[in-house]
């Protein structure tokens, strides 16, 4: 094609030239042809060089892509490791901060209770000062009236004879003596009542000061740490058969989530939860996890927990130095080790109640051993399995009656929630000791979430009443102060709001101890002078 083009351009030259110039034209054509052949050869060489360069560049790009993928994978693994370490650090820091917040919250509760006690004492002192001021004012008015009366009488005496004066003096002395007798009687009664209250406070304070125990936290879930993340798959098993066998054998829900090397055991029965924890830890340590080994380890854990509960009951009896208890009663007492009431351990509460009842009995001159025995056994019905009907007081009384306890102790156990009429003073001592142990500061601690939820429910319940403007839960939820608008709520309606709120709190909320309700209705008028 190239040569055809050259001949096309060369034809005019050949036509114009004559024979003499043929040699010059041939030379010119030969030069053009040489240049053209050189150009074609150069183009072929450049094309081959470019093709080789493209191929080499493709190979280099592929190698670079592979190296970049390897480097990216290494960077990703390193980033994942750093993220995992950061996550563990954050979890540990969060747990530590949660513990610190819980400790601070308990300190705040203790301060609030101290402030509440001081507030109550100040109110009592203010009332006493008001009464004394009123009495002084009344005495001043009486003296002024008496002075006027004496002046008038002196004026009248000057006009009376001796017999009339004697008669009037006798009547006056008789009236004055009657008033003095009444005042003396009232003073004697008030003094006796104050002495009784002082003596009672002294006995209670002395008993509580001799008892010191730490608060407990009630849990409905238990965390079990795993050595590796692969252990979760072995716990689940093929098609979930291992986890199903474990939950069926223990009666506990086994929850496996994305938490690193952790599984959660959830159950409201603390004994079952403890059996499941012990069995799972033994299975993880042994490494053989299948339905047959699960049943074996669960049975072994149940036997171990039975031994632990029996030992706990014997330790409590030994600590209190009580003799003659039936072995079944001791075993049932040990089951209270895993029972909780408002976050208070039932066995520790029973031991504390026994000590308090013994101290109170000693202070009032009764047999401390009987009171101690009744105090220890008062909540034993909480350890009896749940298939029996009735309250734990009645169930516990029937249980110890079947095992040879005395009628005094049986009645004290049955009557400690006043479902049965107390027949002896020891029943009253157990009621008092049980109340002190349950309501003393720090006995029944709450988690921060439940504490905040209880305060929020209390305030919302108060705000739901018609006429309530503001509501504030104070003193760790043991007092609610309600502010009503005076222009919309009368005094009678404010009194009704207090009664209605008390009834709704008693019927709709669950709370330890008592809750004081204060309804505030006041008017304030403020002006600013400029």
Q: Are 411 and 481 members of one domain?
A: no
Q: Is 475 left (phi over 0), alpha (psi -120 to 50) or beta?
A: left
Q: Which of 60, 85, 110 is the last residue of a domain?
A: 85
Q: Is 242 part of a structural domain of the chain?
A: yes
Instruction: For residue 471, give the CATH number of its domain.
Output: 3.30.300.30
CA–CA distance, 481 with 518 (Å, rounded to integer):
5
Q: Are 428 and 456 members of one domain?
A: no
**To the nearest whole percent, how much of the chain has pLDDT over 70?**
77
Q: Is 432 part of a structural domain of the chain?
A: yes
Q: Is 183 part of a structural domain of the chain?
A: no
Q: Are 371 and 489 members of one domain?
A: no
Q: Are 252 and 397 members of one domain?
A: yes
CA–CA distance, 349 with 419 (Å, rounded to integer):
20
Q: Are 472 and 422 members of one domain?
A: no
Q: Are 410 and 461 members of one domain?
A: no
Which distant-in-sequence residues (6+ apart) come within 8 Å of 356 by Cβ?
207, 208, 211, 375, 432, 433, 436, 437
Residue 10: pLDDT above 70? no
Q: Are 418 and 466 members of one domain?
A: no
Q: Is 137 part of a structural domain of the chain?
A: no
pTM, 2 dp: 0.45
Nearest CA to 374 out of 319, 318, 430, 425 is that of 430
Q: Which of 54, 85, 116 is the last residue of a domain?
A: 85
Identify the band that residue 3 occupies on the pLDDT scale cut at 50, 70 and 90.
very low
> Which is more confidently placed, 102 or 190?
102
Q: Are 232 and 342 members of one domain?
A: yes
Burial of 251 (0-12, 13-18, 19+ CB in 10 A): middle
Taking each helix axis from N to C end, the angle separating 270-286 and 241-250, rounded to the nearest 10 degrees, works out to 140
> Which is more confidently placed, 298 or 165?
298
CA atoms lying within 13 Å on the CB side of residue 225: 1
**To the nearest whole percent, how much of the chain has pLDDT over 90?**
0
CA–CA distance, 484 with 505 (Å, rounded to integer):
18
CA–CA distance, 227 with 143 (Å, rounded to integer):
89
Q: Is 207 part of a structural domain of the chain?
A: no
Q: β-strand 344-345 against 253-255: which pairing, if any?
A: unpaired
CA–CA distance, 111 with 119 (Å, rounded to integer):
12
The answer to whether 426 and 371 have CB atoms below 8 angstroms apart is yes
Q: pLDDT (tens digit, 9 = 90+) per residue, 160-169?
A: 566 776 777 7
CA–CA distance, 434 with 297 (Å, rounded to integer):
39
The least confident of 43-52, 163-172, 197-206 is 197-206
Q: Is 391 part of a structural domain of the chain?
A: yes
CA–CA distance, 255 with 236 (Å, rounded to integer):
10
CA–CA distance, 408 with 21 (Å, rounded to integer):
154
Number of domains in the chain: 3
Q: Which of 374, 408, 439 is the last residue of a domain?
A: 439
Q: pLDDT (tens digit, 9 = 90+) per residue, 417-456?
A: 878 888 888 888 888 888 877 766 555 555 556 667 888 8
Q: Is 472 part of a structural domain of the chain?
A: yes
Q: Are 64 and 10 members of one domain?
A: yes
- The pLDDT score that the predictor gives to residue 5 is 47
Dmax over Cα atoms in the chain, in whole Å?
198
Instruction: For residue 244, give the CATH number of its domain.
Output: 1.10.3210
Q: Are 328 and 466 members of one domain?
A: no
Q: pLDDT (tens digit, 9 = 90+) per residue, 387-404?
A: 566 778 888 888 888 888
Structure tokens at 46: 């450049």
CA–CA distance, 471 with 485 (Å, rounded to integer):
12
Contacts 24+ apart (CB under 8 A), 256-262: 256/232, 260/84, 260/87, 260/88, 260/229, 261/225, 261/226, 261/227, 261/228, 261/229, 261/231, 262/223, 262/224, 262/225, 262/226
Q: Are 426 and 458 members of one domain?
A: no
Which distant-in-sequence residues (6+ apart) come within 8 Å of 334 by Cβ?
308, 309, 310, 311, 312, 313, 314, 316, 347, 383
CA atoms lying within 13 Å on the CB side of residue 254: 28
Which distant-in-sequence residues (6+ apart) come within 8 Å of 161 by Cβ?
none
Which distant-in-sequence residues (6+ apart) come within 8 Å of 349 by Cβ?
341, 379, 437, 438, 443
- The pLDDT score that the predictor gives to residue 217 is 45
Q: pLDDT (tens digit, 9 = 90+) per residue, 347-401?
A: 888 888 888 888 888 888 888 888 888 888 888 888 777 656 677 888 888 888 8
Identify the band that residue 197 occupies on the pLDDT scale cut at 50, 70 and 90.
low
Please report which helix (H) or strand (E) contains residue 152, including its range.
helix 22-157
Q: Is 102 part of a structural domain of the chain?
A: no
Range of the domain at 13: 2-85
The answer to whether 328 and 403 have CB atoms below 8 angstroms apart is yes
CA angle 308, 314, 316 (to 5 degrees): 105
Q: Are 79 and 226 members of one domain?
A: no
Length of the chain counted residue by residue: 530
Nearest CA to 218 out of 348, 334, 345 is that of 345
The residue whose two tokens read 């009384």 is 397
Q: pLDDT (tens digit, 9 = 90+) per residue, 258-289?
A: 777 777 887 777 777 888 888 888 888 877 78
The answer to whether 474 and 481 have CB atoms below 8 angstroms apart is yes
Q: Is 377 helix (H, G, I), strand (E, B) or coil?
A: helix
CA-CA-CA-CA dihedral for 196, 197, 200, 204, to nearest 10: -170
CA angle 517, 196, 419 (to 5 degrees): 60
User: Alpha-carbon torsion 390, 391, 396, 401, what sign?
Assistant: negative
- The pLDDT score that the predictor gives to residue 22 is 54
């Amino acid at each position: 094609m190239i040569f055809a083009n050259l001949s096309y351009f060369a034809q005019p030259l050949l036509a114009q030239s004559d024979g003499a110039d043929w040699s010059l034209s041939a030379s010119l054509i030969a030069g053009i042809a040489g240049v053209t052949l050189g150009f074609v050869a150069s183009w072929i060489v450049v094309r081959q060089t470019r093709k080789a360069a493209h191929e080499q560049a493709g190979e280099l790009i592929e190698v670079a892509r592979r190296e970049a993928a390897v480097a990216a994978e290494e960077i990703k693994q390193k980033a994942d490791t750093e993220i995992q370490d950061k996550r563990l650090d954050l979890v540990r820091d969060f747990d530590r901060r949660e513990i610190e917040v819980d400790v601070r919250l308990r300190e705040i509760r203790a301060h609030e209770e101290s402030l509440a006690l001081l507030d109550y004492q100040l109110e009592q002192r203010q009332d006493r000062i008001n009464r004394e001021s009123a009495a002084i004012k009344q005495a001043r008015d009486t003296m002024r009236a008496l002075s006027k009366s004496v002046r008038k009488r002196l004026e009248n005496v000057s006009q009376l004879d001796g017999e009339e004066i004697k008669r009037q003096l006798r009547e006056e002395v008789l009236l004055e003596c009657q008033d003095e007798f009444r005042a003396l009687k009232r003073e004697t009664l008030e003094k006796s009542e104050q002495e009784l209250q002082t003596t009672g406070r002294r006995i209670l304070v002395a008993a509580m000061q001799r008892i010191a125990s730490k608060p407990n936290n009630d849990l409905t879930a238990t965390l079990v740490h795993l050595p590796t993340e692969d252990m979760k798959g072995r716990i689940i098993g093929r098609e979930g058969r291992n986890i199903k066998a474990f939950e069926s054998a223990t009666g506990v829900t086994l929850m496996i989530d994305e938490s690193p090397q952790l599984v959660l055991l959830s159950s409201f029965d603390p004994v079952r939860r403890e059996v499941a924890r012990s069995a799972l830890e033994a299975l993880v340590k042994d490494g053989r996890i299948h339905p047959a080994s699960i049943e074996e380890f669960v049975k072994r854990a149940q036997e171990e927990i039975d031994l632990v509960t029996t030992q706990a009951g014997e330790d409590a009896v030994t600590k209190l130095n009580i003799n003659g208890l039936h072995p079944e009663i001791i075993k049932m007492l040990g089951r209270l080790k895993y029972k909780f009431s408002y976050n208070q351990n039932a066995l520790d509460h029973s031991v504390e109640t026994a000590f308090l009842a013994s101290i109170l009995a000693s202070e009032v001159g009764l047999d401390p051993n009987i009171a101690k025995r009744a105090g220890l056994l008062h909540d034993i019905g909480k350890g009896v399995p749940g298939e029996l009907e009735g309250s734990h007081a009645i169930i516990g009384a029937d249980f110890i009656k079947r095992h040879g306890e005395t009628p005094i102790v049986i009645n004290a156990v049955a009557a400690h929630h006043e479902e049965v009429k107390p027949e002896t003073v020891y029943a009253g001592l157990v009621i008092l000791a049980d109340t002190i142990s349950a309501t003393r500061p720090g006995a029944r601690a709450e988690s921060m979430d439940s504490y905040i939820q209880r305060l929020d429910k209390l305030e919302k319940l108060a705000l739901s009443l018609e006429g309530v403007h503001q509501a504030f839960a104070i003193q760790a939820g043991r007092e609610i102060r309600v502010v009503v608008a005076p222009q919309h709520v009368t005094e009678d309606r404010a009194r009704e709001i207090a009664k209605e709120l008390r009834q709704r709190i008693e019927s709709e909320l669950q709370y330890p101890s008592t809750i004081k309700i204060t309804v505030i209705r006041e008017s304030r008028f403020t002006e600013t002078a400029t």
